[in-house]
């Protein structure tokens, strides 16, 4: 069995520039800030990079859930964390790579327990150019220009429950997490030693997974927030757990002429097709006023057909799903 939490989320970005690419070499002036965008079929799809989303997640975990973050060290052109997942939960859940000397144990890496996509606009568009001037000084005003957009961003993520709080001694790339100093700490802290891994206590493992999920209703971050203030918490969220690693929720929303539409029939199809690998109920949360009435009606009808579907607000379904986490982690 390979246990994973999988999630799908929509973020409303009605007047936003959440992740910027800087200036373009072909721009007519140097004072233009472009948004990050994917080009497809002659259209532009603004996006927030996966790295930026992870930064928002980390910031929320540190400020809201009191995570002690692994100190970052800089050495010439490289930077790395302490590579200590026993003490620092972000090294556990977000992974690390650190090149130690042979005496210290050699290079160690840890694959991230949390995987996520970029947040990509559902609707192709041409971002709006906003012009302004800096004029609070003597002399001529300085013109500048930046892009922003109005769209809905979609993203997926997964949490590997089999590796949360487990630190491997294998030599395979991405799996050798341990080195002599960390092994000494594991012994001192009383971690369980299996054939190929050191394992934290269940309580700590459960809390780290729950915190990742609990952070979703409180996510914050993004560029240009001073002049394009945007609530980046999910307005639509699906949470479930599966036996497997394939993320089958990726294509349940589609682009239409008038914007984005949740395809309830596609959701119904994938839930039926993958019912045999579901380890929990499927929790669907949404903010009132975000989805069209016909979509809400479709979801309610689907919940009558499928007893595994649980509907509620974003905070409600996060709370209800997290009741499933202790059992999933301990199994």
240-280 tens-digit pLDDT: 999 998 899 999 998 887 677 899 999 999 999 999 999 99
State the Cα–Cα distance between residues 101 and 152, nearest whole angstrom.
Answer: 46
**Tens of pLDDT, residues 181-204:** 999 999 999 999 998 899 999 999
**Tens of pLDDT, residues 228-240:** 999 999 999 999 9
State the Cα–Cα distance between residues 201 and 183, nearest whole angstrom.
Answer: 16
Query: Shortest CA distance to 273 belongs to which of 248, 301, 244?
Result: 248
**Tens of pLDDT, residues 77-87:** 778 899 999 99
Region 282-293: mean pLDDT is: 94
Q: Is 125 exposed, middle or buried (0-12, 13-18, 19+ CB in 10 A)?
A: middle
Helix ranges (DSSP H) in 136-249 = 180-189, 202-214
State the Cα–Cα distance between residues 74 and 86, nearest whole angstrom.
Answer: 21
Q: How many independent structural domains does the chain possess?
A: 1
3-class state of residue 54 by DSSP: helix
- Name residue, tokens 């001694």: 169
**Tens of pLDDT, residues 7-44:** 999 999 999 999 988 655 455 556 678 899 999 888 89
Interhelix angle for 293-305 vs 264-273, to 10°? Answer: 20
**Partner residues linked to 143 by β-bridges:** 133
pLDDT of residue 27: 52
Query: Shortest CA distance to 112 belongs to which of 154, 73, 68, 158?
Result: 158
Structural domain range at position 102: 3-330
Q: How many residues in total does the chain contain? A: 331
Model confidence, pTM: 0.92
């Amino acid at each position: 069995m390979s246990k994973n939490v999988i999630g799908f989320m929509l973020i409303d970005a009605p007047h936003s520039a959440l992740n910027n690419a800087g200036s373009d070499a072909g721009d007519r002036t140097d004072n233009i800030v472009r948004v990050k965008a994917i080009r497809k079929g002659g259209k532009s799809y603004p996006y927030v990079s996966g790295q930026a989303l992870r930064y928002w997640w980390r910031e929320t975990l540190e400020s809201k859930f009191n995570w002690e973050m692994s100190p970052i060290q800089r050495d010439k052109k490289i930077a790395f964390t302490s590579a200590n997942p026993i003490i620092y939960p972000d090294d556990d859940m977000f992974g690390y790579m650190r090149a130690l000397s042979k005496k210290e144990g050699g290079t160690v890496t840890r694959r991230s327990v949390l995987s996520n996509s970029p947040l990509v606009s559902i609707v192709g568009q041409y971002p709006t150019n906003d012009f302004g001037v800096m004029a609070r000084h003597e002399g001529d005003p300085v013109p500048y220009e930046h892009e922003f957009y109005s769209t809905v961003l979609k993203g997926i993520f997964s949490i590997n429950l089999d590796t949360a709080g487990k630190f491997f001694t294998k030599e395979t790339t991405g799996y050798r997490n341990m080195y002599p100093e960390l092994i000494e700490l594991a012994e001192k802290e009383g971690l369980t030693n299996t054939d190929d891994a050191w394992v934290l206590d269940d309580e700590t493992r459960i809390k780290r997974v729950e915190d990742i999920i609990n952070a979703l209703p409180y996510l914050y971050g993004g560029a240009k927030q001073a002049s394009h203030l945007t609530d980046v918490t999910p307005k639509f969220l699906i949470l479930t757990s599966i036996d497997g690693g394939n993320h089958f929720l990726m294509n349940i929303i589609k682009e239409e002429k008038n914007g984005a539409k949740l395809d309830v029939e596609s959701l119904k199809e994938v839930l039926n097709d993958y019912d045999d690998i579901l380890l929990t109920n499927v929790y669907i949360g949404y903010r009132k006023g975000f989805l069209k009435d016909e979509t809400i009606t479709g979801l309610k009808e689907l919940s009558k057909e499928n007893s595994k579907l649980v509907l509620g607000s974003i905070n409600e379904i996060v709370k209800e799903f997290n009741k499933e986490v202790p059992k999933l982690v301990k199994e």
